[in-house]
Amino acid sequence: MYITRKHISRRTALRGVGVTLALPWLEAMMPAQTPMRGSAAQPRTRFAALEMVHGSAGSTGEGTRLHYWSPKTVGRNFETTPILRALGPHRDYVTVVSHTDIAPATAQSDAEAGADHTRSSAAFLTSAHAKMTEGADIYNGTSVDQLYAQAFGQDTPLPSIQLCVEDVGSLTGACGYGYSCVYANTISWASPTTPLPMERDPRVAFERLFGDGATPEQRLSRRRANASILDAILGKVAVLERDLGAADRARLDDYLQDVREIERRIQMVERQNATRRGFDLPEAPIGVPDAWTDHVRMMFDLQVLAFTTDVTRVSAFKMGRDVSSRVYTESEVETPFHSLSHHGNKPDKLAEFAKLNEFHIDQVAYFIDRLKNTPDGDGSLLDHSMVLYGSPMGDGSVHNHLRVPLFLAGHANGQLEGNRHVLCEDGTPMANLLLTMLHRLGVDIDSIGASNGEIAI
């Protein structure tokens, strides 16, 4: 028997003027008679870290008693909770980790009191205590996303991407209580002295993923003509498809439709904003949607495309900014976010905050569903991903960092079972989860931040 299937490289990309479009995994990328395991059909784990600020109703004493966040039952087949109910369809991929603390985010001297919001994001992925300074001598820790990117992201076009949906501002300036704004404006640190900026504009993120090599003039011309980046590579697509089987052609067509759909949504927002900018978000880049759900889901879709094509394996997504007064109109909660986090443990306000927490989880469930329904080698993207969602604050009403809300999603190439609730002993550092995650991702490291061991996940 002769094997005639043509093999193409996993790094194949379609290039046109100002465009470099990476491809999703195709069967043609696996050499004939190659075992699935260890091949391009089972790619290295993708990692996404998602942060939401201001804690959770389930991290309060009353919220813990009512099991707003933390399930009543421990182990497999845990009982779902009000805030996490949107994760129900994906429970086989979900690991809830309860009652870990982020001690490094707390004040360590009287002078540091009052700056819990500023230190929170800095500690989320580093478990480090940010140095109190308003100058250039910032010091924090290296974040888990960057430790993974440094170990296993150097052979992808982008080692990592950093995204946000709030206007986090620049990585300079003072934010009060003696701390630089940099600590509140990013969750991603390449080193203790190197914070990475978060990108808010979907257009900029899209161009970074797919418009490699385009000049500013080419990008402007394409936008003015309402043209697609796909126009530059249509001929290359036709040539490639001649060597693909039916399943690969269908997969490629689905992928190109996804790219075009996201691009179309960005173009629609830009057209709308060009004619009415100034009504809702006067300072926003022209590509930023007014509706928070539209914005956050667009950013999730960009991460799915980036993971699909292996343009990057690592993303950090800041879904909110501390002290944000945003009103999430789509949630039917009318109280501003920061104000509501100061609920004073009043039952009605706490229940309202739980409803807002649930709304945020609804959006994450959208991301998980997209990963689950995106084919990737011998499984789905969710089979080959590890997603961390959480907040570095516990009870936002008192600004503590106890019982912080966390869960993991995905099977991480068999490193996570899912369908499990892990209840940690009081005082367990969240850093222990970060260390465990890094080990499951294949990073050889002895400790991170305040870690003192692993967690059995």
In order, the DSSP letters of 315-376 are EEEE---TT-----GGGT--S-HHHHH--TT-HHHHHHHHHHHHHHHHHHHHHHHHHHTSEE
Name which of 321, 316, 286 is nearest 202 in CA terms.
286
Q: Which residues contact 190 (CB under 8 A, 6 or more apart)?
A: 142, 146, 150, 196
**Per-residue model confidence as pLDDT tens digits over 341-379:** 999 999 999 999 999 999 999 999 999 999 999 999 899
Structural domain boundaries in the chain: 1-42+204-287, 46-200+294-457
The predicted pLDDT at position 94 comes to 98
- Specify the DSSP element, H or E, that contains 390: strand 385-390
The predicted pLDDT at position 4 comes to 42
- Let me know: does 345 contact 304? Beta carbons within 8 Å: no
d(CA 123, CA 144): 11
The predicted pLDDT at position 35 comes to 54
10 Å Cβ neighbour count for 149?
25
Q: Could you tell me the strand order of the sheet in which 420-429 lies?
A: 75-76, 420-429, 94-101, 404-409, 385-390, 46-51, 314-318, 161-164
* Token representation of residue 281: 């978000």
d(CA 104, CA 130): 8
Residue matched to tokens 């990328």: 29
Q: Which fold has domain 46-200+294-457?
A: Alkaline Phosphatase, subunit A (3.40.720)
Residue 331: left (phi > 0), alpha (psi -120 to 50), or beta?
alpha
Residue 112 to residues 54, 118, 174, 186: CA-CA distances in angstroms? 19, 10, 14, 20
- Let me know: does 377 contact 384? Beta carbons within 8 Å: yes
Residues of the chain short of pLDDT 70, as ranges, are 1-6, 31-42, 168-174, 212-216, 218-220, 222-226, 276-285
- Specify the DSSP element, H or E, that contains 380: strand 379-380
